[in-house]
Amino acid sequence: MRINELATPCYVIDEGRLTDNLKILNGVMQRTGAKILLAQKAFSAFCEYHLIGRYLSGTTASGLYEARLAHEEMGKENHVFCPAFLPEEMDELVEICDHIVFNSVSQYLCHLPKIQAAKSKKKMPISAGLRINPECSTQEGHEIYDPCGAGSRLGITRAELDRAIANGLDLSQIDGFHFHTLCEQNSDDLEKTLDAVEAKFGDLLYNLKWLNMGGGHHITRADYDIAKLEECITHMQEKYDLEIYLEPGEAVALNAGYLETTVLDIVQNGDVKILILDTSAACHMPDVLEMPYRPPLKNSGEAGEKKYTYRLSSCTCLAGDVIGDYSFDREIQIGDRLTFCDMAIYSMVKNNTFNGMPLPDIAVMDADGECRVIRRFGYEDFKCRLS
């Protein structure tokens, strides 16, 4: 089946592009010896985990469910970080995870007995880490994604760590530090962040086994400076004798998916022509409203750039459920299909059924452009989450 034959709405994972990204990431691993993990929060379509596992070292999870998914479906290195774990979650996490990263000293101390018990019985030792906050903001314009913003709950500041050390904290059971401060950024911002990490935490890095440099590295973007990334990695490996981890989400599946939609109606308000689509920003691409951003759309231009401009919106009741204004060379008709690009990341994982909107199907497109539907959703998927 070709992409234009799929029933809509439908996410389409482009395996050719996914593979291209994985080869770029694997190249970084080969040249530097660093380990790269898939951040499942961005992309958890586990039908592709066999492919991803061929190129990457494993996965990272935001909590028990993602960790369990990775354990069941990939079975490679399994890391987890969460601002707070429940005691009953820790019982399972110590069985299935290799690295468990804590966001606070109190969380670490709370779960340390279970880590120690698991260490003594597991063949492969489980590794505990702390998330540090280097207090170095390099993001502009979207504070919601900045873990280094004032008053952030994410990561331990040096002052807090020093306070805990002064109160008797023993760091000898900590194998590594983790930081995550970037979002869609280039390696010059990683370099700045590492300067801050070294300035604030450098004295402690000598005693550790690993450093996880989080996600937000846009490694598979055309203008990403991979050479600088590799210099950063090598510098930290050589100076502190650390194993280096990166855990990008976006970069793994960047530009490796589409959302196929159909125009259901066209309404007019004054000069504005509005397309009602069978998809929704609020339900199927919430980052469009949250971030906000304008998803690329095939064969379209900016508003006014081409002859016919339309506002693309949805069937929900939310007045602001608008994807954006786009222009086309031809007039759009009811029943036409439109293809949003870069729809593999932070889309399927963020779906919801507000207003009872149907969830888009999920299809996979192979390197020859042949598509197969791997999951179809219906009314039961809406109903089963409500009671």
Q: What residue ranges bind ligand PLP (CB under 6 A)? A: 39, 41-42, 81, 180, 183, 214-216, 247-251
Q: Using only C-alpha atoms, what is the Rg of the chain? A: 22
Shortest Cβ contact with ligand PLP: which residue? 215
Residue 180, C-beta contacts closer than 8 angstroms, at least 6 positions apart: 81, 131, 147, 154, 155, 213, 214, 215, 216, 247
Q: What's the CA gap between 130 and 144, in Å, rounded?
A: 22
Give 37 or 364: the residue with its C-beta nearer to ligand PLP: 37
Pairing of strands 77-82, 99-102: parallel
Give 9 or 249: the residue with its C-beta nearer to ligand PLP: 249
Give 313 or 347: the residue with its C-beta nearer to ligand PLP: 347
Q: What's the CA gap between 23 and 367, in Å, rounded?
A: 14
Q: How far is the CB of 114 from ligand PLP (least distance, A)?
A: 22
Give 53 or 358: the residue with its C-beta nearer to ligand PLP: 53
Residue 130, C-beta contacts closer than 8 angstroms, at least 6 positions apart: 101, 102, 103, 105, 108, 156, 161, 174, 176, 177, 178
Residue 110, C-beta contacts closer than 8 angstroms, at least 6 positions apart: 87
Q: How far is the CB of 183 from ligand PLP (least distance, A)?
A: 5
Give 148 or 338: the residue with its C-beta nearer to ligand PLP: 148
Q: How far is the CB of 52 from ligand PLP (least distance, A)?
A: 14
In the block, which residue shows the tokens 């504070």? 143
Q: How far is the CB of 46 from ligand PLP (least distance, A)?
A: 17
Helix (H, G, I), strand (E, B) or coil at 12: strand
Q: How far is the CB of 108 from ligand PLP (least distance, A)?
A: 16
Best CA proximity match to 332, nearest among 284, 260, 264: 264
Q: How far is the CB of 268 from ligand PLP (least distance, A)?
A: 39
Give 70 or 263: the residue with its C-beta nearer to ligand PLP: 70
